[in-house]
Amino acid sequence: MRLADTSVWQMSPGPDADVVVSSRVRLARNIAGFPFVNRATVPQRNEIVRVVQHARFPTEWAGGIMWVNLQQATQLDRTLLVERHLVSKQFASADAPRAVAISSDESLSVMVNEEDHLRMQVLLPGSRLADCFTGVARLDETLEQSLDFAYAQRWGYLTACPTNVGCGIRFSVMLHLPGLKLTGDIDKVRAAATDLHLAVRGFYGEHSEAIGDFYQVSNQITLGRSEQDIHEMFARIVVPQLIDYERTARSVLLQQNPMLVDDRVQRALAVLRASRLLAVDEAMKLLSRVRLGVCLGRISDVDLATVNRLFLQIQPAHLRVLTQTTETDGDLKETRSTLVRRALGAR
Amino acid sequence: MRLADTSVWQMSPGPDADVVVSSRVRLARNIAGFPFVNRATVPQRNEIVRVVQHARFPTEWAGGIMWVNLQQATQLDRTLLVERHLVSKQFASADAPRAVAISSDESLSVMVNEEDHLRMQVLLPGSRLADCFTGVARLDETLEQSLDFAYAQRWGYLTACPTNVGCGIRFSVMLHLPGLKLTGDIDKVRAAATDLHLAVRGFYGEHSEAIGDFYQVSNQITLGRSEQDIHEMFARIVVPQLIDYERTARSVLLQQNPMLVDDRVQRALAVLRASRLLAVDEAMKLLSRVRLGVCLGRISDVDLATVNRLFLQIQPAHLRVLTQTTETDGDLKETRSTLVRRALGAR
């Protein structure tokens, strides 16, 4: 498997990058005539993969699509895909026939035989939900020309989990909310999001922790609403509001206690530049503070693209591939520290 | 009150300075014809102060003796004396008539009306118990020419607390034991010290914590032993053994895990150079690691004298006097951080 050197984490950061790391729209679809994945036999699952691989993709992507067979992929490759947010953790570690299609720029991916037969996503850096929506809609329409998606007049598109029935769409953004964390308002925001039927998850989606103050926020219910309505509500109201909360928290912090902010961000940068051993969780936490410092203009000799890239490169599989490390202890602390020190221009 | 610019913390570090910060010998004496301090009336305590102030001091110190009346001293001055280890915390905060005599180089001090009528000490940097012993013995002999010390044939010199009866002498060293702390052997050493009837105390003596891996080790029992025996046992056997334990721990650490040592010491130095707010306990802890790095040759651009001096200067009273700070919040975190950053040559 050969992944692109670029990914959304390495591209230019995009609109509203101070708060929104990436945007994603995902559609769930199933093919008529097959049981849902959890009821399908191995031959049926193999057939589903075969059918999707022969479907027609939009011309702009068709040439650059790479298919990865997850059953044949190495553990390292599977972990790489998770770290890039191209497949879910569950999908990577399952053991039934399954595959993923990835466009050459990695903005588009289609998991086959995850919870649904098809999970298509478009992932872009910064706040670009409208572009993601356009992209995934175009993919859906094109695939539907050669695939017969399960659909019921009464419910809409059928999905394995009821929360996806209807239009089967999920909008999500990966937000960086260190300001709300520092002011202590993050819990209020989480509670408000729950009231609005939004899901707030950690860095690697479902069942993961909010490492480094990253939160994945997404709409929860799709039944009875049109894709357009969900897009309007989520992209035009919810996300701008969350961005506003975070920016307000940051400016309150800077006004009320600039010394505290500088203390946090300068210490974090100094430790990253001085450490000799660096665990991944600690690195995420420190990079999160540096990211805040860069976005607030309190750190001027590091740029946002470098910090974003490091969030990806410090992950274990990326680190192994990138450094061809011979470190054997499995936790890569020394290699990670060396990489980070160099990237941040330590003396 | 005007203290010298130098103190043992600011002098050249002395012998075995990698482990032994300072040495101290203290003698407890009481004047015949007066009750012990805790039974003495205010007029009697005043009289004791007067009598000692008129006693003859050794000629080499007599000219340079400064007397501080603790009842008249400001809170700031009393705290300064504690931070310099010239008086005990209890003595500084009591409210009965009491005074302290301090030589101009601060190596000698005599507390009058602490637990005993006289508590004389000689304090020197590094491992210099023999010099301290010579100094305090000379002081004792000279004072005895003009003062009548309470003495009983059967017990020796009488003292308020039975642990001091006999020769009333206490030898102590302030040890820096970060190696034993890191290897986890510090508890074994503490247990062994207790078996040998040694007291192991924290940075400010009795009832204080071992901040920054500093431990004050002293002999506990004086009854039935000669000063010379205690000196032999403590200075020639116990202290060299403790120094050896600590040095062994450090070299084991360096051999087995140099990366861990570098990680600890470089992070500590980086945080001290980058922080904007610095609490005293955290500063002690970080300076302790930097001290270890300097002693092991892992940090080359900071010298031991600077680190030793900072341990004193970051204490609240010293910091206030030194910086003439207007910081009002009482914890001086910003002022402390600025002082430390400058002293350590932060960019």
Task: For residue B173, give the H/E element and its range.
Answer: strand B169-176
Residue carrying the six token digits 């010491």 = B265
Q: C-alpha angle with apex B6: B5 to B8, nearest 5 degrees?
A: 150
Query: Smallest Cβ distance to B269: which of A259, A260, A274?
Result: A274
B3 found inside a domain: no
Query: Long-range contact list for B48-54, CB < 8 A, 24+ apart?
Result: B48/B97, B48/B112, B48/B113, B48/B117, B49/B97, B49/B98, B49/B99, B49/B112, B49/B113, B51/B147, B52/B99, B52/B101, B52/B110, B52/B112, B52/B117, B52/B118, B52/B143, B52/B147, B53/B99, B53/B101, B53/B112, B54/B146
- For residues B324 and B188, membership in a common domain is answered with no
CA–CA min distance A320, chain B (Å) = 20
Q: What is the largest CA-CA distance in chain A?
A: 65
Choose the weakest-confidence range: A83-97, A120-134, B12-26, B158-172: B158-172
User: Residue A264's closest chain B neighbor by CA?
Assistant: B275
Answer whether B175's CB lies under 8 Å from B246's CB. yes
Closest CA to A335 of A290, A270, A260, A283: A283
Task: For residue B251, give the H/E element and its range.
Answer: helix B239-256
For residue B54, what pLDDT is reported? 94
**Do the chains contact at B262 and A276, CB–CB below 8 Å?**
yes
pLDDT tens for residues B162-187? 777 777 889 999 999 999 998 999 98
User: How much is the average pLDDT of B38-67?
Assistant: 92
B11 found inside a domain: no
- For residues A214 and A269, membership in a common domain is answered with no
Decide: residue B81, CB within 10 A, 0-12 exposed, 13-18 middle, 19+ buried. buried
B137 found inside a domain: yes
Residues of chain A whose C-beta is under 8 A from some C-beta in B? 259-260, 262-263, 266-267, 269-271, 273-277, 334, 337
A151 found inside a domain: yes
User: Residue B270's closest chain A neighbor by CA?
Assistant: A270
In this predicted structure, the answer to whether residue A7 has a pLDDT above a threshold of 90 is no
Using 50, 70 and 90 to split pLDDT, how confident is the model at A329? low
Alpha helices in A296-332 (DSSP H): 304-313, 316-323
User: How much is the average pLDDT of B90-113?
Assistant: 92
- What percent of chain B stands above pLDDT 90? 63
Separation between Cα atoms, residue B212 and residue B233, nearest integer Å: 27
In this predicted structure, the answer to whether residue A331 has a pLDDT above a threshold of 90 is no
Query: Smallest Cβ distance to A263: which of B260, B273, B276?
Result: B276
B7 found inside a domain: no
- For residues B221 and B292, membership in a common domain is answered with no
Residues of A in contact with B274 (CB under 8 A): 266-267, 269-271
**Do the chains contact at A273 and B271, CB–CB below 8 Å?**
no
Residue where a domain terminates, one of B226, B248, B270: B248
Separation between Cα atoms, residue B345 and residue B347, nearest integer Å: 6
Using 50, 70 and 90 to split pLDDT, how confident is the model at A175? very high
Closest CA to A143 of A131, A157, A125: A157
For residue B221, what pLDDT is reported? 73
Residues of B in contact with A337 (CB under 8 A): 263
pLDDT tens for residues A242-263? 999 999 999 999 999 999 999 9
- For residues B233 and B314, membership in a common domain is answered with no
B111 found inside a domain: yes
Using 50, 70 and 90 to split pLDDT, how confident is the model at B41? very high
- For residues A310 and A232, membership in a common domain is answered with no
In this predicted structure, the answer to whether residue A225 has a pLDDT above a threshold of 80 is no
- What percent of chain A stands above pLDDT 90? 62
Using 50, 70 and 90 to split pLDDT, how confident is the model at A168? confident
Separation between Cα atoms, residue A315 and residue A332, nearest integer Å: 10
- Please report, as a single letter, which amino acid is at residue A265: V
User: How much is the average pLDDT of B240-256?
Assistant: 95
For residue A295, what pLDDT is reported? 95
Residue where a domain terminates, one of B218, B248, B278: B248
pLDDT tens for residues B269-291? 999 999 999 999 999 999 999 99
- For residues B215 and B114, membership in a common domain is answered with yes
Residue A175: what are its φ and ψ, rounded to 5°? -105, 145
Task: Assess: ipTM above 0.85.
Answer: no
- For residues B51 and B187, membership in a common domain is answered with yes
Query: Smallest Cβ distance to A276: which of B263, B271, B277?
Result: B263
- For residues A325 and A195, membership in a common domain is answered with no
- The residue range of the domain holding A242 is 20-248
Chain B contact probe: residue of A256, A261, A277 with most B CBs at under 10 A: A277
Q: What is the CATH number of the domain that holds B226?
A: 3.30.590.10
Q: Could you tell me the pTM of the whole model?
A: 0.86
Answer whether B48's CB lies under 8 Å from B31's CB. yes
For residue B27, what pLDDT is reported? 93
Number of Cβ atoms within 10 Å of the Cβ of B269:
24
Residue where a domain terminates, one of A198, A224, A248: A248
- For residues A40 and A106, membership in a common domain is answered with yes
Please report, for residues A45, A156, B15, the alpha-carbon distance to residue A150 in angstroms, rounded to integers and kept in the order given. Answer: 16, 9, 84
Closest CA to A219 of A166, A172, A264: A172
- For residues A74 and A152, membership in a common domain is answered with yes
Number of Cβ atoms within 10 Å of the Cβ of B207:
9
A8 found inside a domain: no
- For residues A192 and A317, membership in a common domain is answered with no
Closest CA to B298 of B259, B272, B342, B256: B259
The number of distinct structural domains making up chain B is 2
CA–CA min distance B275, chain A (Å) = 5
Helix (H, G, I), strand (E, B) or coil at A112: strand
In this predicted structure, the answer to whether residue B62 has a pLDDT above a threshold of 80 is no
Query: Smallest Cβ distance to B271: which of A259, A271, A277?
Result: A271
For residue B211, what pLDDT is reported? 79
Query: Smallest Cβ distance to A276: which of B266, B271, B275?
Result: B266
- For residues B190 and B314, membership in a common domain is answered with no
CA–CA min distance B276, chain A (Å) = 5
Residues of B in contact with A270 (CB under 8 A): 270-271, 273-274
Separation between Cα atoms, residue A345 and residue A125, nearest integer Å: 25
B12 found inside a domain: no
CA–CA min distance B332, chain A (Å) = 13
